[in-house]
Amino acid sequence: MATVCRAETIPFTLLQLNDVYEIAPIDNGRWGGLARVAHLRRQLQQANPHTYTVLAGDFLSPSALGTAPYNGDRLAGRQMVAVLNAMGLDYAAVGNHEFDVNAQQFLQRIGESEFQWLSANIADAAGNRFSGIEPYKILTIPGAAGEEVKVGILTLTIASNPVDYVTYSDPITTARGYVDNLKGEVDVWVALTHLSLAEDLALAEAIPELDLILGGHEHENIQRNHLIIKPNSSPSCPRAQTPIFKADANARTVYIHQLTYDTDRQCLQIDSQLQPITAAIASDPATEKVVEQWQEIGFNAFRQQGFEPMAVVVNSPISLDALDAHVRSAPTNLTRLITKAMEQENPNAAMVIFNGGMVRLDDLLSAGAITQYDIIRLLPFGGRVVTVEMDGTLLQKVLAQGEKNNGTGGYLQLGGIAPNTIELSKTYRVALMEYLLTGQEVGLDYLTVNNPGLKVIDYGRDIRSILVDYLQNNAQQAFTDLGEP
Ligand SMILES: [Zn+2]
């Protein structure tokens, strides 16, 4: 018999999630939940042991549970790491929201992780690599007939959250350097990125060696086939695409990438499927237990603050827009509800003001039952509403700064009289968030209780209690006032 000489094709699976802030299912259990993802992962692994689970960044923050007090600190993503460990995550890209926590919390979370953190273009303040974060990882995946494929995972992080303990280098220059240095050592390049779609497209264009880009940051699922001519294309294997995939935030969906590498023709076949995570998927019991344990720790802390996390506040006929990009640049239906609630709580105030950065969900809150936990998810840091008397001059200066802060958390959301009716010589009663009187908001360092242009009248209630009561007591009227059904 003649010896059959055939190329070996090696199959492997990448399970991708990105931008995950909640450990339990959201929207009344309809979507997401990491115990369900764990069950799916187990099934994929049974079908092919060469299954790798990757998270394309943003998981330590923002999350409501993460703000819960715990052992003299806040949870600050500790619950996420514990659940991702239980779920069996293999690799996590560093996203911009990882730097919402302080340096000490950031390093503690890395230390608690049983998965590998990756990012090639970040370093500490001194420019040194963080211990526990690798720039890339090369997987060696064996086939049944003795061949193997080397898969490089290279990670890049968006430089959108500058804090004093991190420095960035340019993602494309950095990627170019690693891909060149590892030439010949990697058969398949997977970029696991946390970049904007525009940056991912530029990356695909600049580094044609990348076979696949698994990204995050946008929060809504995206698939782009970026057509480029690859330098190593051949007539038998015209690898002329670098597909870019992003799943929906909070594991509403995940991507399952079934990859097959032909070691002879050096071809990669990619078969990707967007998988909704719903109640149709069972929960992995071991992961579920860890989820429940941390949820209880968080919920008990909220109960001590006077909240009943599972209590339904209102049935919303519409989804509420709490996306950072929107609440930090213009009013949305959600911010209008918040200013209405502040106005009703402070009927004598001519104006109400809060900073867009107070809203931390960075997502849409779906129509349907809104629980007190959802309100905590929207406004995890809470804070009192303070009533002051303010000079027209000072008020106008503050509002002008709010406009300048457009695009950042310091953008000011307003209710009450129109800003252009303010008279410099008059004094106005204003209800605003206590945080805005700390001098810590961008460009508002002069805005403190010591400013001679204002006088504190009253320290009111926590904004979350105000919003809960407003929605509960006004129910559907609140939405009718918005001009919505
Ligand atoms: Zn992000």
> Measured between alpha carbons, how far is 397 from 21 in angstroms, rounded to an integer?
36
* pLDDT confidence bin for 2, thresholds 50/70/90: very low
77 occurs within a structural domain? yes
Q: Write out pLDDT tens, residues 153-165.
A: 999 999 987 899 9
The residue count of the chain comes to: 485
Q: 62 CA distance to ligand 1 centroid (A)?
A: 10
Distance of CA 346 to the CA centre of its chain: 33
Q: 82 CA distance to ligand 1 centroid (A)?
A: 21
CATH of the domain at 270: 3.60.21.10
Q: 196 CA distance to ligand 1 centroid (A)?
A: 8
The CA-CA-CA angle for residues 29, 35, 39, to 5°, reads 115
* pLDDT confidence bin for 384, thresholds 50/70/90: very high
DSSP state of 199: H
Q: 217 CA distance to ligand 1 centroid (A)?
A: 4
User: What are the tokens at 482?
Assistant: 């918005």
Residues 281 and 320 in one domain: no
Strands 364-365 vs 212-215: parallel, antiparallel or unpaired: unpaired
Residues 425 and 348 in one domain: yes
> Measured between alpha carbons, how far is 54 from 155 in angstroms, rounded to an integer?
11
Residues 421 and 280 in one domain: no
> Measured between alpha carbons, how far is 17 from 57 in angstroms, rounded to an integer?
9
Residues 141 and 14 in one domain: yes
* pLDDT confidence bin for 200, thresholds 50/70/90: very high
CATH of the domain at 427: 3.90.780.10
* pLDDT confidence bin for 4, thresholds 50/70/90: very low
Q: 26 CA distance to ligand 1 centroid (A)?
A: 19
285, 319, 342 - which closes a domain: 285
> Measured between alpha carbons, how far is 265 from 277 in angstroms, rounded to an integer?
36
292 occurs within a structural domain? no
Q: 19 CA distance to ligand 1 centroid (A)?
A: 7
Q: 160 CA distance to ligand 1 centroid (A)?
A: 8
440 occurs within a structural domain? yes
Q: 195 CA distance to ligand 1 centroid (A)?
A: 7
Q: Is the pLDDT of residue 348 over 60?
A: yes
Q: 459 CA distance to ligand 1 centroid (A)?
A: 35
Q: Is the pLDDT of residue 64 over 50?
A: yes
Distance of CA 101 to the CA centre of its chain: 13
Residues 181 and 318 in one domain: no
* pLDDT confidence bin for 22, thresholds 50/70/90: very high
Residues 69 and 154 in one domain: yes
Residues 350 and 270 in one domain: no
Number of structural domains in the chain: 2
- Nearest one of 67, 77, 65, 69 to 117, comparing CA atoms: 77
51, 258, 276, 399 from 47: Cα distances, Å: 9, 11, 19, 59
- Residues 6 or more apart whose CB falls under 8 angstroms from that of 124 comprise 130, 165, 166, 167
> Measured between alpha carbons, how far is 96 from 129 in angstroms, rounded to an integer?
17
93 occurs within a structural domain? yes
The residue type found at 251 is: A
219, 254, 285 - which closes a domain: 285
2 occurs within a structural domain? no
390 occurs within a structural domain? yes
Residues 192 and 74 in one domain: yes
Q: 208 CA distance to ligand 1 centroid (A)?
A: 24
Q: 67 CA distance to ligand 1 centroid (A)?
A: 19
Q: 93 CA distance to ligand 1 centroid (A)?
A: 11
Q: Write out pLDDT tens, residues 106-161.
A: 999 999 999 999 999 999 999 999 999 999 999 999 999 889 999 999 999 999 87
User: What are the tokens at 86?
Assistant: 């239980």
1 occurs within a structural domain? no
Residues 255 and 342 in one domain: no
Q: 98 CA distance to ligand 1 centroid (A)?
A: 9
> Measured between alpha carbons, how far is 483 from 404 in angstroms, rounded to an integer?
29
296 occurs within a structural domain? no
Q: Is the pLDDT of residue 228 over 90?
A: no
DSSP state of 130: P
Q: 58 CA distance to ligand 1 centroid (A)?
A: 6
Residues 332 and 268 in one domain: no
Whether omega for the bond prior to residue 62 falls within 30 degrees of 0, making it cis, is yes
> Which residues constitute the domain of residue 319?
308-481
Residues 161 and 214 in one domain: yes
> Measured between alpha carbons, how far is 272 from 13 in angstroms, rounded to an integer?
10
Enumerate the H helices of 190-272 as residue ranges: 197-206
285, 318, 333 - which closes a domain: 285
> Measured between alpha carbons, how far is 279 from 277 in angstroms, rounded to an integer?
7
Q: Based on the number of CB atoms within 10 Å of its own CB, is 430 exposed (0-12), middle (13-18) or buried (19 or more)?
A: buried
Residues 279 and 370 in one domain: no
